[in-house]
Amino acid sequence: MTLLTETSLEPFIALLKAQGRHSVLDVCCGPGDDGLRFVQAGIHYTGVDPFDGNVRYAMARRLSVSVAEPARLPFAVNTFPAVWAVQSLEGLTADQADDVVRELERVAEPGAPIAVVLP
């Protein structure tokens, strides 16, 4: 896992393009604002959010999203070449945050960049 300290979307997109990564998972994607920017940059986008209302709104924006808890992602091991999870640890206890980080590592390919914000 590559831990990033920069959580601005543009540098992350630039990193993905520089590394030839063409797909990203957005954990706790909200209404899909970042998803639209990934898609506009030509990066295949998959988003998940625990709130059905956010998922419906993002789907109305034609984004590929589904309802999922960040500590129980419905994807196989090593599925994504990059993970954007900037809101996924907000409001969690240390143990809950550890569970989410382990799950992000599980679904990310080896060496994949994973962007998170530590609360």
Question: Would you say residue 15 lies in a domain?
Answer: no
Question: Would you say residue 49 lies in a domain?
Answer: yes
Q: Report the pLDDT value the prediction gives residue 15, as an integer from 0 to 100.
A: 94
Structural domain of residue 106, as residue ranges?
80-119
Q: Report the pLDDT value the prediction gives residue 112, as an integer from 0 to 100.
A: 96
Q: At residue 61, what are phi and psi to the nearest 5 degrees?
A: -90, 10
- CA-to-CA dists, residue 2 to 10, 30, 39, angstroms: 17, 24, 22
Together in a domain, 38 and 61:
yes
Query: From the CB of residue 22, how many other CB atoms can be counted at a distance below 10 Å?
Result: 12
DSSP code for 76:
-
Q: Report the pLDDT value the prediction gives residue 117, as an integer from 0 to 100.
A: 75
Mean pLDDT split into 10-residue runs, the chain, 119 residues: 63 95 97 96 98 98 97 98 92 94 97 85
pTM above 0.85, yes or no: yes
Q: Report the pLDDT value the prediction gives residue 34, as an integer from 0 to 100.
A: 95
Question: Would you say residue 27 lies in a domain?
Answer: no
Helix (H, G, I), strand (E, B) or coil at 7: coil
Into how many domains does the chain fold? Answer: 2
Question: Would you say residue 13 lies in a domain?
Answer: no
Question: Of 68, 92, 111, at which residue does a domain stop?
Answer: 68
